[in-house]
Amino acid sequence: MQVTVELPDDLARQMIPAGHDPARVALEDMAVEAYRAHRLTEHQLASLLGLGRYELDGFLKQRDVWFEYSTDDIQRELETGKRLWKQREEEPGTFRG
C-alpha cells in the first residue's frame, strides 16, 4: 500500500530531521505507534522496518519504547531461578531447564 501525505513546508521541516528520508521517518513513526498500541508484533515491526532483532532493540530504545514486563513475568522468572539454583546445589553440573 502506498500512502501520500501533504505537509506544509514549515511543519515538515520541524517534523523531519534534516537529511532524513521523509517517507522513512513517516513509516518508522507509524510503525512504532502501531507497535505501542499492540497492533504489530515485534516480529512484524522488525520485518516492516528491515531490522534484525538487536537493531530493533536499539531502535525501540531510541524511541523510549521498552519491553513490557509484568509482575507475573517477574514472579515466573524468580520461581524458575529458585528451581534451577536448588537443582544446581543438589546436582552440580546438571541443569534441566
Q: Which residues contact 92 (CB under 8 A, 6 or more apart)?
A: none
Q: Is the pLDDT of residue 96 over 80?
A: no
Residue 95: the pLDDT is 60
Average confidence (pLDDT) over 3-25: 93
- Residue 92 pLDDT > 80: no
Confidence of residue 90 (pLDDT cuts 50, 70, 90): confident
Rounded to an integer, what distance in angstroms lies between the CA atom of residue 11 and that of residue 7? 7
Ranges of each domain in the chain: 1-66, 67-97
pLDDT in tens, 22-72: 999 999 999 999 999 999 999 999 999 999 999 999 999 999 998 777 888
- pLDDT at residue 97, as a whole number: 58
Q: What is the pLDDT of residue 58?
A: 96
Q: Closest Cα to residue 39, out of 31, 27, 47? A: 31
Whole-number pLDDT of residue 68: 74
* CATH level 3 topology of 1-66: Arc Repressor Mutant, subunit A (1.10.10)
